[in-house]
Structure 1
């Protein structure tokens, strides 16, 4: 590095490195790409908007090809993955994934850009996403304020969904719980929530975790939480990451009617997704729970291995969930 100020202060490999001068180097994630009026592969249109200036929250909006001027479509508010540390609503992998999902599901999608740790430790990401979710819900009201045309003209708020992958699935879960308690602008109700490869953890192993032969990957799961939320009350048993921790809000309060959870057999987080589904069922929640398990795949394969048969199949399952 040469200079003293570029000495490493701390790092969480293989994700991020923080230098003593305060700069952060992200070692994962895909490049930022511009929005596109017509994606050459799917025909989906996208554009970027500012939701709030303070705090700074933006989003990438998506509209399917051949949407008619008066056509109403389901609304999806999406939260990207990346361990709360990297990736973006504006990145290449997320944009390709969203173009595919929007094309198949025929939904208006709003992918929220939230601030990342370690510069902005949790719960800032969750607060940003809550503000973004409330902004989308506010587009349903006739309050005299200027509305975003794609959402206002084409959004069917009777078919309102949220979803996310990995860390974004953790966010989606927490948004559904909070919506169940606090409600959304305009009285909007969440019809369905999807969680793919959700990031949950706890101090005690679940399922077959102790039998897995991937100690480094298993050890990384709690390390990430400590890195992105060092002040978390209860540490790795904070209810935001351990939904059945002592004192956690009841999962019976999830503010949606349908829940889809997808796990990958080779993912170290697989047992957590199953555990979460079981906990929701046991909570007395009144909605419908569906679990999808995909053999022979690892974490976030449908995004990282975009275009493969299994990736296409999972995205089609998510699209079906959003369009049923």
Structure 2
């Protein structure tokens, strides 16, 4: 008699498990929540939109001071290792509400497809498609029905991309691609926000583990979400400083804000990334913020805390968008 017991074939605890029957058990995250016609705390309105058969997004509109007000646009890519969480999850819905209100911005939070059901580079392609969809709103003729929040209130002269962790990695790679490929309507990205970006590589930097490198969780995670990655952990998508990576001078934006946390093991490589951008010959401005005493994506998981570190970081991100 055949056993109905599922067996684990991939164990990436405490993040995710995959079973022999193809089912996936996501061990970390928050439940999906609906959009809010008007958030009771921030006054921000949100709604869900379909971009394509594979990609969707949640739009956030900061409370308007007058009916024709134009707002800066942020295309945002959520965090959580390319395999967890969602643009529709509680953690990210709560956080983007607060950021939209503080920045006075129109935010497009992208729902890209997740690994392992959709291994990388799917998330990168979905994220690029979403960016093109937003930019296409400046065109006179489109093959889709335009969203009136974007057409009525989006200011394409103040256009930003950003994300946290895996989303910060996506934002970097989107900025590089925008440096060589024109966006619809020739829209220009003013700034990119890379918060706690997920970068890694085979050669340890700073306090990264120097023993059993191949067993390090960050490396195992990358090979889990992108098992066919050319070059493995030194693929330029995860290691922007790898041999053969596109020059950082090609970044297609005018300024970058890199946000890091003192206790995050990704911080050492994030600091090296900042220095490499500065040395690359890129013509933009790069700023870095390192928050003392905090760990990875602390502002996502508890944004309503009274801790000054969270409030100050959200204010810093908002100022980058609205200044």
Indicate whether 1:248 and 2:223 are aligned: no
**Which runs of no fewer than 5 residues in structure 1 stay unpaired?**
none
Indicate whether 1:64 and 2:68 are aligned: no
Task: Find the counterpart in structure 2 of residue 172 from structure 1.
Answer: 171
Task: Find the counterpart in structure 2 of residue 33 from structure 1.
Answer: 33
Task: Find the counterpart in structure 2 of residue 260 from structure 1.
Answer: 257
Structure 2 vs 1, CA of residues 208 and 10 (structure 1 numbering), >3 Å: closer, same or farther? Answer: closer
- What SS is found at the alignment partner of 1:46? strand
Map 1:150-169 to 2 at 5 A.
150-169=149-168
Task: Find the counterpart in structure 2 of residue 188 from structure 1.
Answer: 187
C-alpha RMSD of matched pairs (Å): 1.6
Task: Find the counterpart in structure 2 of residue 96 from structure 1.
Answer: 94
Q: Are 1:180 and 1:256, in contact at CA under 8 Å, matched by a contact in 2? A: yes
Q: Are 1:69 and 1:153, in contact at CA under 8 Å, matched by a contact in 2? A: no
* TM-score under structure 2 length normalisation: 0.95
Q: How many residues align?
A: 318
Structure 1 runs of 4+ with >3 Å offset: 2-5
Indicate whether 1:237 and 2:260 are aligned: no
Indicate whether 1:279 and 2:276 are aligned: yes
Q: Are 2:204 and 2:210, in contact at CA under 8 Å, matched by a contact in 1? A: no
Indicate whether 1:9 and 2:2 are aligned: no
CA-to-aligned-CA distance 1:23-61 (integer Å, 9 cap, x gap):
1110011110000001011010000000001xx100000
- What SS is found at the alignment partner of 1:209? coil
Q: How big is the shift at 1:221?
A: 0.8
From 45, 68, 72, the counterpart of 1:74: 72
* TM-score under structure 1 length normalisation: 0.95
Map 1:195-234 to 2 at 5 A.
195-210=194-209, 219-234=216-231
**Which runs of no fewer than 5 residues in structure 2 stay unpaired?**
none
Q: How big is the shift at 1:66?
A: 2.9
Greater displacement, 120-129 / 300-309: 300-309
